[in-house]
Amino acid sequence: MKLKAIICAAMMAAASVAAYAAAPVVAQVSPYVYPENGVASVPNFTYMPDGNSYLTLATDHRSVVRYDTKTGNQLEVYLDLGTTRESRLDFIDGFAISADASKVMVWTNTEYVYRRSFTAEYYIYDTHSRLLRPLSAQHPRQQSPIISPNGRMVAFVADNNIYIKKLDYNSEVAVTADGAPGSIINGIPDWVYEEEFTTTCSMTWAPDNLNLCYLRYDESAVPTFDMQRYGGSCSPNPGLDLYPQTWSYKYPVAGQVNSTVSLHSYDVETRKVKTIDLPDNRIEYIPAIAYGPDENSLIVATLNREQNHYEIYKVNPKSTVCKSIYVEDSKTWVTPESYEDLHLGADGFVILSWRNGRHQLYKYNYNGVETGQIAPGDYDITAYYGCDPAGAHIFQVAAPNPRDRVIRRIDAKGRITDISPSTGDSQATFSPDMRWMLLCHSSCTSVPVYTLATNEGKSVRTIQDNAAAAARLQPLAAPREFFTMTSDGATLQGFIIKPANFDPARKYPTVMYQYSGPGSQEVRDRWRLDWYDAFARAGYVVICVDPRGTGFQGRAFCDQVYGDLGHYETIDQIAAARYAASLPYVDADRMAIFGWSYGGYETLMVATDPACPFKAAVAVAPVTDWRFYDSVYAERYLNTPQQNENGYHTSAPLNRAANLQCQLLIMHGTADDNVHPNNSLEFISRLQAAGLLCDLWLFPNMNHSINFCNGRALVYAKMLDWLNRNL
């Protein structure tokens, strides 16, 4: 055999051995990550209007079943795909009901557009006649439909235009006609609104059903971002293996042109559209619109481009008269919770603001007069649920520790009681009249359990105990040990996961995990079986610390990163590494840092810092320069590059690549529409220019989450295999 053939054979044998060796690592990780780590929920749990019963989607996705709220007894099959008239479906992906519950809107064949938005084939089911009809005969797929308050009309979007289906007449009317891809969008948000303002619908019905108000986005001047889509073998794209296809969409990076957003009102009777001009030329964004108590009270939330001036207007859509009813100015940024969690009631609105140093609740009437603060205290309120029949306000708070989420009730006399467990993580869904609470509670040692309780916290019954998941998954979970440490005088929250069969006399390799983004929080007492439990089984210590800039420890703690992303987070992560190295069971010579998205960004910031204490670093989908990222997020914390050139320069790992201090693995999805893969490629280009090496693993056609075709297991198996060889 010739030498060349011998070498090739040896290489093939080595590749085969490597592939064989990697397979057990994937199997080792898979039970701990998506989708195998999933637990049951209560799918499409929807209260009926009176709160006395509720609907859920059956596990076979072929029926919607109604249950008695108090007893849990099945009352009826509200919708059965086997008995519908006119149209028949094999399954449905989800459902929604009209205000009087006489109509059920169902959808099937869902196809996602971006992270939250999707198109689907929608149908309307009439509970009296059992007629099931397509929402539109003219448009096979629809997006973000909303049912009118009287249940007789549905507004929806198709091909960037708004249409109204009049159910009584089975007719369809076009509201707009100027919608066009890459140019005009009516009724649904553009990419950056969906991603950063967490919205998928930009329409709202008037309470009297006579007006539909909507936002129009002109994205003509927004620069286009192009990405390649390949043939691939995971969800393959036939025909693209020889000639990959370019996929394009509008994506405004920091400092570039945003969509021009405008507010409009459509009169259902006259079919006339009015443009509503808001009185402040500083308005750059309209994050939310919704009707207040009557048809003359359209509530419009607005922001300037710097996102430090927040103003709410009450608008009469018929006269187009606008009145400012709330103004908040900030030296840094207005917290997104202020407009994302705006609660509109019959006699006023409740706003979650951090203007006084903590996330707190304030109530206003619709004339803009503050009528009081709800449950003041030295803690961060994280959600407001409403006011119950006794006049008590119900809310969620990050207390008694920032890692906890507790549901509390404050009565008319100011007495506060916990109506959920006082530690761990509690999430709630209330009936329309606030009498009943679907409570989901978990902790780092217990899977989510769904119970029905009264609005005073009295448990009535268990709806989903997740007993099967508990038996399967809880034995896999490694214990968390919560701790605090200091960095530059700041108190930081953290947790430690120790290896299985922990021996305090041994020294273990350690992975520092973090996300670190402004307002985020990873150190939580909630159920989350994930990769770090697998790593603990594999003999690693895992440590997580939330640095300055993260959330729920007061505004001052969060504000410090304003204008200078990455600076304090890096100081704190290095301090956390030094704390870890001081522990007797941590091998200080075998430490790694890992992060995804903002965590990947911060991983690179630490890895390129002269004081980096890590031997290895793993960054997944990292931002490498905030000039590459979207306008809303980057500018919220840094302003524009034109306003803060130095802040963008010093916060970019791209400009520090030549200072790489440790071994590096980067992973990225090639179809990541959020953090584009050019972030990683540009960083690698800088490494090459400096004569430095790193490892790269790409996921063809996968997005920011890398969560289909067992992608998550492959990410963490690759990381585990790589760390095993490099620590």
Task: Determine contact, residues 167/153, Cβ cutoff 8 Å.
Answer: yes
Please name the residue that has the structure tokens 């596990």: 59
Q: Report pLDDT for 235.
A: 84
Q: Report pLDDT for 24.
A: 87
- Signed CA dihedral, 201, 202, 207, 211: sign only: negative
Helix (H, G, I), strand (E, B) or coil at 679: helix
Block means of pLDDT (10 residues each) for the chain, 727 residues, are 38 39 84 96 95 96 97 97 97 97 98 96 97 97 98 98 97 98 98 98 98 98 97 90 96 98 98 97 97 97 98 97 98 97 96 97 98 96 95 97 98 96 98 97 98 97 97 96 97 97 97 98 98 98 98 97 98 98 98 98 98 98 98 98 98 98 98 98 98 98 95 98 97
Instruction: Read off the amino acid at residue 687.
Output: L
**Cis, bond preceding 24 (omega within 30 deg of 0):** no
Q: Which is catalytic among the residues 597, 631, 651, 680?
A: 597
- Signed CA dihedral, 107, 109, 113, 119: sign only: negative
41 carries an active-site annotation = no
> Cα(75)–Cα(83) distance, rounded to whole angstroms?
17
Domain 477-720 has CATH 1.10.10.10: no
The neighbour count for residue 625, using CB atoms within 10 Å, is 22
672 carries an active-site annotation = yes
> Cα(80)–Cα(64) distance, rounded to whole angstroms?
7
Task: Determine contact, residues 137/124, Cβ cutoff 8 Å.
Answer: no
Q: Report pLDDT for 567.
A: 98
> Cα(500)–Cα(480) distance, rounded to whole angstroms?
12
Q: Report pLDDT for 22.
A: 57
In 3D space, the residue among 442, 535, 547, 414 whose CA is nearest the CA of residue 487 turns out to be 547
Q: Which is catalytic among the residues 672, 676, 680, 721?
A: 672
Q: Roughly how many angstroms between the first and final C-alpha of the chain, as a whole number? A: 38
> Cα(709)–Cα(233) distance, rounded to whole angstroms?
10
DSSP 482-523: EEEEEETTEEEEEEEEPPTT--TTS-EEEEEE----TT----
226 carries an active-site annotation = no
Cβ burial 145-180 (10 Å sphere, 16+ → b, else e): bbbbbebbbbbbbbebbbbbbebeeeebeebbeebe
Q: Which is catalytic among the residues 139, 359, 676, 704?
A: 704
Instruction: Please report which residue ranges of 343-490 form alpha helices under DSSP H.
Output: 467-473
Phi first, then psi: give them for residue 669, nearest 5 degrees.
-85, 135
Q: Which residues contact 233 (CB under 8 A, 6 or more apart)?
A: none
